Structure 1
Amino acid sequence: MNRPNVILIMTDQQKRDSLSVYGNPVCRTPNLERLASEGTIFDFAFTPYPVCVPSRVMTFTGRYSHVTRSRANSVLMQPDQEHLILILESAGYSLGLSGKNHCFQADDLDRFDYVWECGHGGPANPPDETAQKAKDFIRESKINSRCWGTVTNPNPPESLGAALTVTHAIDFLKTRQDDRPFFLWCSIADPHTPLQTSEPYASMYDPEDVPIPDQRDDEIADKPLAQQLDHKALCGEMVTEDDIRRVTAMYYGMNTYIDTEVGRLLDRVDALGLAEDTLIIYVSDHGEYLGEHRMIRKSKALYDCLTRIPLIIRLPGLVPANERRDEFTEIVDLMPTILDIIGLDHPDGIQGRSLMPLLNGDGYIARDAVFGETGVESPDGSFRVSGFDDMESIPTSPTTPDFSPRLKKGDLGPIKSVRTHDWKLVYYPGNQEGEFYDLNADPGELTNRWSDPAMAEVRSELTARILDWCIEMEDRRPSITRGAF
């Protein structure tokens, strides 16, 4: 029997509840609704480390960030990691990457048969004049230097990143030279900041129509110092409701633009006769504040708006259609799930759980909690949970032109979290600060009950859960660099 093809569609910084497929009443994502109706959608999917590179490395290794050591955007896949691309290459798969990499180093990129890279920063690789024109506008607009900035890109939608990523993904599908099964990573770099897109999407949503997240004026006062620093850095003290509405409307336009391009890819998969034999996974690497806690982008925090992600899986005949699951899942589960579906063995050290038993009803043991971790890794290997020195070093305007994070001098340690369906505890080692939320009464995580005596027993139990998780999820593999023997 031929092994299934695999298409992994990954977006960047896409907020789960900003999508109509997850119940958003305004933002239209009909193609994701179509994909969900033909597959299974997961309501409680999480990334344990809500930063681009760490999350992507977890996706391809099935291991947590404290094990892969990719705990910052500067630390790509390490040479000793046994990852999905290595396994698929050995199994004879044709490999394609279109879009944002932010995961693999050059040696691993050479394993792909087709590569077209295009992220937020430098030029496309191979060079693309159309993409460069749109990027030049972003640079000249200086939108990247404005924390809450938005701008309409005058270039046509087909010249922007999502469309070009899908165009090159389709090119890979059309130009394959043999009948080998394929793996395609279609990696769309939106709706990550800068918040910009073309018409008709840029003005598709009226700011007056978008929902505003729940707010609490004094929320930040009972949060840890690192949270207060980042809150000020992201201009949370001065942001207005109009600011939140404006950026949300643009973000929704970007979502619908992405959805349109995903639909184009799905249509081409159908037209090429590949739909019945192709596993399609749609996921985002992490979420986005989008006005929650009066913040934008992301920070070194473990709120649900950053860690809870969209996840949809489709494979006709194997993955149930039009089904929603409320079990906890994590992005580390994707690698073992893919390997099980295509019939390949797991490498040693996998920490994620295959979702195959859940999808086929064969004895899946559900998690009762998910875990998280974060921190800024400095060159000396220590961790800082805030990117700023002190309150005085932080920009003081939503349009400050020199928005440029600096490493915090003090070492507050990496933070860890545990989340059940009822509670979330965020633990800051080495100091007396922390976060504790009653998710039933406070789903927006606005009221920190860390110091509430009534919560002492539950807080102690959950702190012990974090310790147990850290011990259980140590790397048990020998430290042997790939290729050493």
Structure 2
Amino acid sequence: MTSNIFFFFTDQHRIDTLGCYGNDIVSTPVLDAIAAEGTTFRRFYTPTAICTPARASLLTGAAPFRHQLLANYERNVGYRDELADDEFTFGTALRDAGYNVGLVGKWHVGLERTQNDYGFDGPAMHGWHNPVDHAEYLSYLEENDLPPYALSDEIRGTFPNGSPGNLLAARLDQPVEATFEYFLAERTIRQLREYATEHKESGRPFFMATHFFGPHLPYNIPSKYFDMYDPDEMMLPKSVAETFANKPPVQANYSAHWAFDTLSTATSKKLIAAYWGYVTLIDEQIGRIIEVAKELGVYDDAAVFFGADHGEFTGAHRLHDKGPAAYEDIYRIPGVVRLPGGHEPQFVDHFATLLDFTATILDVAGLDSAQAVDGTSLSPIVRHEDPEWREDLVLEFHGHHFPYPQRMLVTDRYKIVVNPESVNELYDLVDDPDELQNRYGHPELRVTRDGLLRRLYLQLRERGDNFYHWMASMYPVGEQDFDVSLSSFDDR
């Protein structure tokens, strides 16, 4: 029997803000309840820690180097700005298989095309943050006699040139019913009612996604959530001890751009408290959707997914947002799967990514999961079938504000990062989980380092990611069975 599918997606979401990932302060009962009936992946990663490329990978099941949509359009640095016309997308595949397919909320895949071009119903919403000038949202406020969007108590740092820094958080002078998050839940519920009616009348299955724009900064939320958590109880990340010694200089530059050192400790703690409040606001809105789904009788036997496009620094490594720094804070993300009917909760350490979500959605819908070319269905793990599984993950980054090519390999214990224009990085995630000490040059880890370089090289070559050519000549990746200079005239 083909299953209905609910998909909840957040933006820039740290895993340590959720009860199911060990936070015993933040209130996330709804997401924790999904985890309590499903499988929580402790080593779940984004293929790249930036919105558009990550979302394009989810849509296509292809790694960023393959789909080539490598930058957010607002700061595109010369890459393509739309997917290729013949690119596979799961929305179209579900539609072709007879599903109703809905997506309400953040899209951010390409410059002009919307989710409607890829098989999804739902209002087009461009941009990286809540589009509070969206016509449907403004009509919603007017129809419900709700006050307009307005901010106070803004929190900013100071840019290196002395001008006011990016807005990081603010008090939103609206009731919760007027928030864009509440509106997204209302809009999802409206779409869901239509799908549920058709499902009951004809048996037509549906895929219903809600993509929240938060908890991406700035954390602009009503007072109830802005003041929900006591800043004095917030602990700054241990990696605020970052010195950037023996690190790529771009990290210190990004720290200056995000003006972390211009903020007081009290302000940094307030930002974390506001971020947590934003997470609770979103959790409550997901709860409203699920409550209606249960009333309509379409939740219990549905598959449910929860994830995020990437993480957030919130002061870790003296940074905010994300960027060319391959730390766990922004690459490791929530990943929860509840197959139809649910099951006893389990927590697993299998390496997985958003690409595997794509394959699993296809699998649940009875379609060929191999269409997600770089993903693998997670269903066997969820069903305790003990499948053979990958022992590491290849991740990538291509730039934001400016081109910045990175490739990285994560294993149970280590992470190696190749930065062609700078120093490479090697972190021991067991002894140094905060990734403060770059051990790439440590002689006692030379054998480990060279082994990781070869593993990364071989996987990039197998994928067809031409980044491997740089590694072939620059690092000890083993004997080559081809001319690395590509000089066919060179007769050896």
Moved more, 217-226 or 78-87: 217-226
Report SS of the residue matched to 2:290. helix
Amino acid at match of 1:435: E
Q: What does residue 324 of structure 1 align with?
A: 347
Is 1:82 the equivalent of 2:88? Answer: yes
Partner of 1:34: 33
Q: Which residue identity is paired with 1:420?
A: T
Q: Distance in 2 between matches of 1:139 and 1:291?
A: 22
Aligned-pair CA distance for 1:323: 1.4
Residue-by-residue CA offset, 1:427-472 (whole Å, 9 max, x unaligned)? 012x451111111110010111122222222111111122112112
**Alpha-carbon offset, residue 298 of structure 1:** 1.2
**Is 1:178 the equivalent of 2:188?**
no
State the SS of the aligned residue for 1:446: coil
RMSD: 2.5
The alignment of Structure 1 onto Structure 2 pairs a total of residues equal to: 441
Deviation at 1:55, TM superposition (A): 0.8
Structure 1 residues 121, 158: closer, same or farther in 2, change over 3 A? closer
1:109 aligns with 2:116: yes
Deviates more, 1:248-257 or 1:132-141: 132-141
- The secondary structure found in structure 2 opposite 1:13 is coil
Say if 1:311 and 1:134 are closer, same or farther in 2 by CA, change over 3 A: farther
* Paired AA for residue 441 in structure 2: S
3-state SS in 2 of match to 1:189: coil
Offset of residue 134 of structure 1: 7.5
Q: Which deviates further from its counterpart, 194-203 or 103-112?
A: 103-112
Going from structure 1 to structure 2, the CA distance change for 1:106 and 1:134 (only over 3 Å counts) comes to farther
Provide TM-score, normalisation by structure 2: 0.84
Match of 1:246 in 2: 270
What's 1:192 paired with?
A: 216
Please list, as runs of the form range in 1=range in 2, the aligned pairs for 1:150-169 lying within 5 A after superposition. Answer: 150-169=169-188
Q: Is the 8 A contact 2:155 2:169 kept in 1?
A: no
Match of 2:337 among 286, 293, 313: 313
8 A contact 2:240–2:316 mirrored in 1:
no
Q: Corresponding residue for 1:274?
A: 298
Tell me the CA shift for residue 175 of structure 1. 2.3
* 1:471 alignment partner AA: R
Query: What is the Cα deviation at residue 216 of structure 1?
Result: 5.8
Do residues 294 (structure 1) and 318 (structure 2) align? yes
How far the C-alpha of 1:244 sits from its partner, in A, is 1.8
Matched residue, 2:280: 256
The structure-2 alpha-carbon separation of the partners of 1:271 and 1:472, relative to structure 1 and needing over 3 Å to count, comes to same
Question: Structure 2: how far apart are the matches of 1:14 and 1:108?
Answer: 22
Contact in 2 for aligned 1:118/1:161 (Cα 8 Å): no
Alignment of 1:23-62 (within 5 A): 23-62=22-61
Given that 1:205 and 1:253 are in contact with CA atoms closer than 8 Å, whether structure 2 keeps it comes out as yes
What amino acid does structure 1 have at the position aligned with 2:326? L
CA distance in 2, matches of 1:166, 1:294: 34
- Distance change >3 Å, CA 246–CA 159, structure 1 → 2: same
Amino acid across the alignment from 1:289: F
Unpaired segments ≥5 residues, structure 2: 74-80, 158-163, 467-492
Distance in 2 between the 1:27 and 1:273 partners? Answer: 29
Secondary structure of the residue that 2:380 maps to in structure 1?
A: helix
> Structure 1-normalised TM-score?
0.85
TM-aligned CA deviation for residue 348 of structure 1:
4.6
Contact 1:418 1:425 in 2 (8 A): yes
Code of the aligned partner of 1:415: Q
Q: State the one-letter code of the partner of 1:285.
A: D
With over 3 angstroms needed to count, the CA separation of the structure-2 counterparts of 1:146 and 1:136, relative to structure 1, is: farther
1:441 aligned onto 2:431: yes
The code of the aligned residue for 1:79 comes to: D
Structure 1 counterpart of 2:441: 451
Between 103-112 and 190-199, report the one with greater CA deviation.
Answer: 103-112
Partner in structure 2 of residue 341 of structure 1 = 364
Q: Which amino acid aligns with 1:452?
A: H
- Confirm or deny: 8 A CA contact 1:349 1:475 kept in the other structure: no
Instruction: Give the drift of 1:131.
Output: 6.1
Give me the whole-angstrom Cα distance separating, in 1, the residues matched to 2:114 and 2:214: 26
Contact residue 436 and residue 459 of structure 1 kept, 8 A: yes
Out of 282-291 and 139-148, give the one that drifted further.
139-148
The equivalent of 2:473 in structure 1 is: none
Distance 1:57 1:21, change over 3 A: same
SS at match of 2:417: strand
Task: List alignment gaps of at least 5 residues for structure 1.
Answer: 378-386, 388-406, 477-485
Superimposed CA distance per residue, residues 165-202 of structure 1 (whole angstroms, 9 cap, x where no aligned partner): 11111100112362321111200111001112013111
Partner secondary structure for residue 287 of structure 2: helix
**What's 2:488 paired with?**
none
Decide which moves more: 234-243 or 443-452.
234-243
Distance apart, 1:276 and its partner CA: 2.7
- 1:322-378 per-residue CA deviation (whole Å, 9 max, x = no partner) reads 11111111111011111112211235561111111112233411221112111227x
Rounded to whole Å, the distance in 1 between the matches of 2:422 and 2:334 is: 34
TM-superposition CA deviations, 1:255-285 (whole Å, max 9, x none): 1111111111111111110123311101011
In structure 2, relative to structure 1, the CA distance for the partners of 1:237 and 1:348 (3 Å cut) is: same
Q: 2-side partners of 1:168 and 1:228: how far apart?
A: 42
For 1:95, the aligned partner's letter is V
Of residues 453-462 and 74-83 in structure 1, the stretch that sits farther from structure 2 once superposed is 74-83
